[in-house]
Chains A and B, each alone.
Chain A
Amino acid sequence: MKKAIVEKTAHIIFLICAAVAIFAVCAITLYMFLKGAPAFSQVGVTDLLFQTVWKPTAETPSYGIGYIVLASVVGTASAVLLGVPVGLLTAVFLSEIAGKRLGGIVRGAVELLAAIPSVIYGLIGMMVLNPLMFRLEKLVFANRPEHQFTGGANMLSAIIVLAIMILPTVISVSTSSLKAVHDNLRAASLALGATKEQTIFKTVIPAAKSGILTGIVLGIGRALGEAMAINMVAGGAVNLPLPFNSVRTLTTQIVSEMGYAQGLHRKVLFAVGLVLYIFIMIVNFVLLSARKREVAE
């Protein structure tokens, strides 16, 4: 009897704890849609998403977030293009090539990279990367006065910072999926006369494909949701996301203007939050279906 009570109590406590997470997700989703939707109907879906002029405090305000959405998409995509090859090859090194000692050092470094808070990335980007970018900017645009000089706070800085920030995610998820590939496959490939490189690229990586994909999707999620570091290095003016332009992403848009925004301006910022939320939901949906496929395989 006593045992049964303990069991039952434990069961209820577990249930309550699980309910907290479910409640939080539902509440946040509901809140974002309730708060974000009014601006869409007031400004108009196409005027909001596809117009590019952001002048929320003008006499006749304009709430186009086209460039902002584009900056988020381009920034994330470029960071992934830059970060994934490096991350994947590091994972290959860790699982296939590195010895125990060297592997341990690299693994430790990667773990530390994951633990660094984003504000530190932002700080270093601001103090080191931006001045370097400013020099590069002066070189590239030496005799072109039509270019607006940004002092190095630009899209390129943001992409580089993001690429480094997604490395740990990509590396750790890819490494574990590469390690999960059965040694029989490697042995068979080598026995057929393939070199080590051929084995890695033609056998091991394809076999670990869905795990690597999961790592990439998680990296996309991280890059899309990052606000602090981007806010510090990207300049924050609303512009077409070209490498040397100062840009603003969905996240920094909310961070930088929420403080004093009022009325419709404030509502539009919630709509920006909703757009970001939908992007993240899409990313998670892709992740879930990738995992399901992995299980099915």
Chain B
Amino acid sequence: MKKKLIASVLAVCLMAASLVGCGSQAETATDATSTETEVTAADESTVAEEEAQEATETTEDLSGNLTLAGSTSMEKLCEAMSESFMDQNPGVTVTVEYTGSGAGLESLAAGSVDIGNASRALKDEEKSSGSVENIVALDGIAVITDKENQVTDISAEDLAKVYKGEVTNWSELGGADEAIVVIGREAGSGTRDAFEELLEIKDACNYAQELDSTGAVLAKVASTPGAIGYVSLDVVDDTVIGLLIDGVEPTEEQILAGSYKLQRPFVMATKGELSEQNELVNAWFDYIHSDAGKEIIKKVGLIIPQ
């Protein structure tokens, strides 16, 4: 009986071993082919390598911890930026906590973090406590309606009323007699957070539909007569109308000029001017202002400030 058991265990082991053997053989085969392709692709990738080298040269042998805390809306930006920054500087660990703009600036003032993230301009008392406002990106939100809509311009005040459910028909805003279908994003979404904050209607909105992605909002607004929704500025296409807010067009130029209402700065505040900061913090800001950093800002749907 015992013998049988040992034998069967051995058999299982053997089977497992042979399976593993097969696996590794296959792996080496793919390895070989991938090196071949690498060789052929080497010429094309030299440009990229040079760029990478340049970046490493400017920030040579950095090490240590960089700590950030603050706005939850900046999560996407911070995650993408820190990941790429740590790739460039393997010795550096970037830790970002998402505690909210106010809490982040408090931690900065208390000296417990290097950078305080805020998705709004700094208040005067925050500036007087020594925090310096470094705007790294601008976030713009477009308000969209379906193509058939006759209203092309809406005041910020009316927009707030629409979202609070006080205005329910387009005729009240000078449009056709059509019910307004109020579409928004789910709780926790950065876009929703920004939109409600900028119109000062935080958690006072009365949504008819809460969708869980930018694409879904865009598609739903485009296909529903009388719908209104909000999305990141960069995704607006010709299937919808981007409403003018207080007569200002939702474009990058208007945001850079500061005249479009639904925009907010993403601030990475430091205690004292940048020149007073340590090497690590300066390397971080240099990276944000480099081409690679700008690429990341664009990729997460933000606008680069001038």
Question: Does B bind A?
Answer: yes
Interface of B is mostly: mixed
Contact between B220 and A151, CB atoms less than 8 A apart = yes
Q: Which residues of B contact A209 (CB under 8 A)?
A: none
With A4-B4, A9-B11, A12-B8 as known contacts, state yes or no: A236 contacts B209, CB within 8 Å: yes
- Which residues of A205-251 are within 8 A (CB) of B? 231, 235-238, 246, 248
Kindly list chain B residues whose C-beta atoms are within 8 Å of the C-beta of A134. Answer: 224-225
User: CB within 8 Å of B: which of A242-277?
Assistant: 246, 248, 255-257, 259-262, 265
Within 8 A of A (CB), among B192-211: 193, 202-203, 206-211
Interchain nearest-CB distance for A206 vs B (Å): 45
B165 engages A256 (CB within 8 Å): no
Which A residues touch B82, using CB under 8 A? none
With a cutoff of 8 Å between Cβ atoms, the chain B residues found around residue A51 in the complex are none
Assess the A56–B187 pair: CB atoms within 8 A.
yes
Q: Knowing A57-B203, A257-B188, A259-B188 touch, does A231 contact B168 (C-beta < 8 A)?
A: no
* Minimum distance in angstroms from A177 CB to a CB of chain B: 40
Query: CB distance A8 to B203 under 8 Å?
Result: no
Establish whether residues A246 and B208, one from each chain, have CB atoms under 8 Å apart when the complex forms.
yes
The verdict on B7 contacting chain A, using a C-beta distance below 8 Å, is: yes
Known: A9-B12, A58-B202. A151 touches B187 (CB 8 A): no
Among the listed B4, B168, B210, which residue makes an inter-chain contact with A149, where contact means beta carbons less than 8 Å apart?
B168
- Known contacts: A149-B226, A151-B208. The answer to whether A8 contacts B8 by CB under 8 A is yes
The answer to whether A153 touches B8 (Cβ under 8 A) is no
Question: How would residues 1 to 41 of chain A score, 1 for a CB under 8 Å from any chain B CB and 0 otherwise?
Answer: 00011001100110000000000000000000000000000
| Cα A162 to Cα B258 with chains together (Å) | 48
Interface pair A151/B209, CB less than 8 Å apart: yes
CA A97 to CA B244, docked complex, whole Å: 64
Complex contact A59–B203 (CB within 8 A): yes
Q: Answer whether residue A148 sits at the interface, using C-beta atoms and an 8 A cutoff.
A: yes
- Supposing A8-B4, A151-B220 touch, asked if A236 and B227 sit within 8 A by C-beta, the answer is no
Q: Which residue of B lies closest to A234 (CB)?
A: B209
Binary per-residue interface labels of chain B (63-82) against chain A in the complex, 1 for a CB within 8 Å, 0 otherwise:
00000000010010000000
Interface pair A150/B212, CB less than 8 Å apart: no
- B12: chain A residues within 8 A (beta carbon): 9, 12-13
Of A5, A248, A256, A261, the contact of B11 (CB 8 Å cutoff):
A5
Return the chain A residue nearest B219 by Cβ. A126
Is A138 an interface residue, CB under 8 A from the partner? Answer: yes
Is A127 on the interface with B (CB-CB < 8 A)? yes
**Do residues B208 and A58 form an inter-chain contact, with CB atoms below 8 A?**
no
Q: Enumerate chain B interface residues (CB-CB to A < 8 A).
A: 4-5, 7-8, 11-12, 72, 75, 98, 165, 168-169, 179-183, 186-190, 193, 202-203, 206-212, 220, 223-227
Residue of A nearest to B7 (CB): A5
Q: Which of A54, A145, A246, A255 contacts B209 (CB 8 A)?
A: A246
For A58, the chain B residues whose CB sits under 8 A away are 202-203
- Interface size of A as a range: 35 or more
- How far is A255 from B213 in the complex, measured between Cα atoms in Å? 11
Min CB distance, A18 to chain B, in Å?
A: 16
Tell me the smallest distance from the CB of A140 to a CB of chain B, in Å: 12
What A residues does B207 contact at CB under 8 A? 237, 246
Task: Known contacts A149-B168, A149-B179; decide if A8 and B5 are in contact (CB<8 Å).
Answer: yes
- A148 near B165 (CB under 8 angstroms)? yes
Chain B residues near A9 (CB-CB < 8 A): 8, 11-12
Most buried by A among B183, B193, B202: B183
| Given A8-B8, A12-B12, A57-B188: 16 more A-B contacts, CB < 8 Å | A5-B7, A13-B12, A56-B188, A57-B193, A57-B203, A58-B203, A148-B165, A150-B208, A151-B226, A236-B211, A237-B208, A246-B209, A257-B186, A257-B188, A259-B186, A261-B187
CB of A152 within 8 Å of the partner chain: yes
B4, B98, B183, B210: the one contacting A248 at CB < 8 Å is: B210
Nearest CB of A to B229, in Å: 10
Contact A236 B210 (CB under 8 A): yes
Query: Could you tell me if B189 and A260 are in contact, using CB atoms closer than 8 angstroms?
Result: yes
A-B contact pairs, 22 of them (CB 8 A): A4-B4, A5-B4, A9-B11, A12-B8, A13-B12, A55-B187, A127-B223, A148-B165, A148-B168, A149-B179, A149-B208, A151-B181, A151-B220, A231-B212, A235-B208, A236-B211, A236-B212, A256-B210, A256-B212, A257-B212, A262-B98, A265-B187
Q: Given A138-B179, A149-B181, is A5 in contact with B8 using a C-beta cutoff of 8 Å?
A: yes
Query: Is B186 a contact partner of A256 (Cβ separation < 8 A)?
Result: yes
A122-139 with Cβ < 8 A to chain B? 127, 130-131, 134, 138
Name the residue in A149, A150, A260 with the highest tally of chain B Cβ atoms < 10 Å from its Cβ. Answer: A260
Residues of B within 8 A of A149 (CB): 168, 179-181, 208, 226
Q: Report how far A249 CA is from B8 CA in the complex, Å.
A: 51
Bound: A257/B185 CA distance, A: 10
A82 to chain B, nearest CB (A): 23
Chain A residue at smallest Cβ distance from B9: A12
Give chain B residues whose Cβ lies under 8 Å from the Cβ of A138. Answer: 179
A57 to B184, CA, bound (A): 15
- Pick the contact of B169 from A55, A145, A151, A260 — CB < 8 Å? A145
